[in-house]
Structure 1
């Protein structure tokens, strides 16, 4: 204890002395959050282990060199006298001094500890929170370095800072209450640098408010003051109420401020909307805070209802006003007016139709149609309309006309009918006069009348006094009118009048005139050009063609009937148009091609010269034995569709002035291109291939037939040459039989079938006698050893006969052609040969077949006899019919086989 005191006194003495002479190097500031460790460093130059370094806080020594004089759990010296302060708290704030006694140096470090405030607490000063009142809320906290900041939020939305104040550890919020804050969270947050996240507290607001009412139409919330509905539809209004506290009165519905009795439910339904239902509808209720209501004005939309004024009977030249009076909501979008079901071309916005000076042609049925659009609450609309009509009848003075104002007849003509047509309203009174004297029904005159016509019938023209002017007079309450018909004798026609030019081109003049009276006979017209070229026509018009441009022509017209020509003639002067271009300036044709498959003429002109021209042009196509045609063109290149009859007769083309086909440029020949369609090419190729195969097939058949003939002729020549040789002395005759018996079986003989030599066996058929159907066979005299026979044949062309050893059947028990011929002698006439007994003859049966291609053999005595020239033994004649003779023991013995294919 004493030593500690002495140590402290010593340190104090040293510090006092050192302070008097030490030099301060620097002052540093360190800020750190509460609860962390902080390191304070002494940064002296040339610091050694012998230097004496002391740490102190606010004059209290904490350590000297490595020795801690304070709380050793709190402080620690590391490295070159660096001081560690562990788990700092707010009390660790202060000035820390590091002193080097040997160097008389010092360093000051100001430590600031950031401390956390406590969790805030939120208080409400108002007993209840009522809408539109001012509520006061207090939020408080303790501690914290630096002092905490406050933030107020409603449902995570910050409140404007003008609504709250902040003192040392408290914030006060003065909040105007609104209904929308009900059930929202009021949050108070505190924060400073020591906190990682702000500290907060909250409170649920319970705002009391009067009932809030919304009206809903179907699924749509009514937000406008007006609600459009359509007449005869169904309407339902739902009253949706929000209230805190609950309502204390039942729901009430009002129309135009008057309570609707008997309706207390949240829904109001109008089953069929009428126009009388239009008005303001209100839903109303209340609670302890106050009364709430919502209103909407229902506007009933309906289709137009039209009433048409004006019309009826009106006199000619009066003013007509037709007015469409419409009752509709919304207002009319458009009007339409019709006369006799034909739409009139007037503005769609006018509701009146006016005729300032009406005439008889305005008589008819007039119709007015009005449209409007009715809108639904979902934004769609429907168009509605109504229409009505009225009849307008115009009164007018009679209009009297005659189709034949002049009538030429011969004397003593019977039943002359004069007709006049009357158009009037009201109906007219008709009077016929002759030379201003009224005509009545008599033996000479008859008057017939209907609604629109009147007829004066003269029984007979008795004298020239009956010729003259007959008048048809019509009158009604509005006035009168008449027409005159001249009855005269037949004469030459009158001169045509009103000659007019109807068309002028570079090379043609067209004119038309008004015919005069024909004199009672059919008339025609003679038209002259410059009094030299006369043309006759039955029409009252004519066209001169092939004229020259810019030339003046005098045209004269006369009428003619069977009595002669008109006394005078009508004349007119006309000049053809001038061509504003020379032939040399016409565009050149660069190419022209006819495509037969498409039936078109493709052309192209010189584009530069074509564009500069303002004259209409045509492409003249000259056709063989036909008049040319000139097709108007508007582009420098294109195609012209041609008739099929002209395709093969086109000679050339040229460029001409339109309507002046003789004024043309140079002609150009036409190229032609014949294009075959794909299907025709395919058909052509297929046809060639088919014909080729047919020819090839015919050649093959011809070759097969020729080959077959050659083979038959060759076989015939071989046998013929064989028959011409000397005949044998003892021929063998084989006759037909019908008793089938096998000479031997295939299994006993064990011979291989030789189908390749069937043709050789078939040659035997050529040796049959045509009369007896017998096969004539000659035998030979042969000698051999051990069953081998030798023969010699000369003069035979048959390879089988000439070379018996080459046959596949030679040397075997099968029959070959050589077995039927003698080696030395051959007879050429089989009828001269002696025939043996029929019982000893071998019979050839072509109708019998053996198995595996071998024949059957039969005899009349059910046994086979082998016919031979020499050395017949008893053993041979006594053999079984099914035994096979052996060549080893019988040198001249042969067996005859029948092979049937």
Structure 2
């Protein structure tokens, strides 16, 4: 019997209804909506699913704000719309089976008031200088903590005593300034919920207007139908409005448009000024913060006016011509003269009496004597008084016979095209003709001649075919005043004479030859120099061409590839367009013995970033022995030296980066060969001033954050380690996987790895670099050096055939050493 009861209980348990509410709990802020799903598990049919409110009242379907919807036989949805505080409590979902059995589930719904801003208007306006109180009322279920921020910083951290947070959480700014204007953030926080909300309030500081007259006294011209403008410059915020008074009476726009105001009324224009307009004018600037005024006194006078000028025409060498200028004005104006290039004083008179100025009352005259063609041009008459000035131009036209200019002697050679230039100055314009032996050019006898004319010159293009084309050419210009001729000579160019060698400065493997340019260039520029040299006793001359412009700058050419302690002969020749000139007398010199090299020549080129520099190393004499390397050290003045840098012999520059801003640096470079070190080459430079940082315009959410980038780099590094470890396991039977296999599985991989470890050899190897030397890691991360061998081979090493790679050992300081280096030590 007991067994039967137990079986019934088990059957009841397995067939009873199971009720769940999703989500199992709910938290809603006031005004938000949320739904809850009641789900029933079990096979019972004709189930009834009901929802009950926290006060035990059964909720009916399809209510407006708290809605219950029967989804199907096994679920029902409770939806709370626009929740308020009264909706909080425990809601119950009850499921009644066909047999009357009930199952239920509950959900605790909590309603809270989110942090909101009740009274925080924006913008809020204040008058500059007053104590401003920025209003911000915050409401929430729990008392919030209020923080005020300006420009991203807590205002309290500014340590400005003018900023005070009042007991009601309003922000007070004592004696507010225009610079305090901007966006202030009222930020509320509730620690218990981790809730935060903020309101940005625009604070506007109104500034009382200030007004200043552009001119306190204004002079105006009367009875000339002119206008005068009175200007006041006003500042303030908001922008002040302007009004004007005359002798205390308000000025209004009149029908006759006597007074005209600008759009902002800062300018008052008085039209057709007369004597009655003379008065005191006041401009008044006004805005919501206050008002201010400024006075302008208008004085009405007569401005000067040029009433008579007249252009003049004269012939060159004419006895004299007079220019006259008359003017009116009150006070009586003074009259001055000037040209486009010079001023002429009122009492000017040159020693030869060429210019004479005379003035009387309102008339002034300028007399020019013995007229020259250079007197032609613009003459400006200016009348001035205390009110203003007026200027008028007049023109003196000087007619003269043509005048010709140009290089008389022109050099060329057969087959080389050349222009003979005949510059012409004439008024009126002249007609230009070319003649050869009295025959007008061009002609059928001179087919190799062309003529090109411009307003100021004529060009005779000649391509000599033979010696007959050299000689005299005549340029003749004619106008109605007269004519002028100029003879040009076309001279056959010759090859240059020989340069003269002044001195030879020999070194071990190079020599500098100082020379003087040829006395005769042959009439055309020298293009190149040819240097020839040979050892005494040899027959073959070695040679090299040098650009004439570069060689002439210092008067030096350098010959290279010489042998130490050897006597040489050197000679020079110059080349122009005609050909190679005479060769100079040979000068003998003896190179120096093998020695230390000469210091390299240094040239600097600043980087675009302003704090880096490329120092070019220009190799000089190597002392007869190949340069092994360059040693570079540098520092900012009054600072410690940076670690010495060793550059390969093939390097032609060193890059210095990440230097201090606006600092003076010095660089020392030494070249070293087997004989020793050269003297130090010295170079000084200054870095640029640090540029102003420009903030990025991108949004704060654009791109990857620093943490994301670091994470990606860590993942890549771990993956590389795993790949390397797997490779070591399968190829060399070593690594972390190998260690796990041996210790956990008892498997020892075949191979020489264990043997190497027993013998104490390094568990890694370094690949030898060029020349069998191991490549060293760079000790100078801020320096870029050209690619090349770490150390140049000596002559004895170059004669060896295929040396074996150097063995690399590991030492405690992680430096790499070679057997070769050990033997040298």
TM-score by length of 1: 0.26
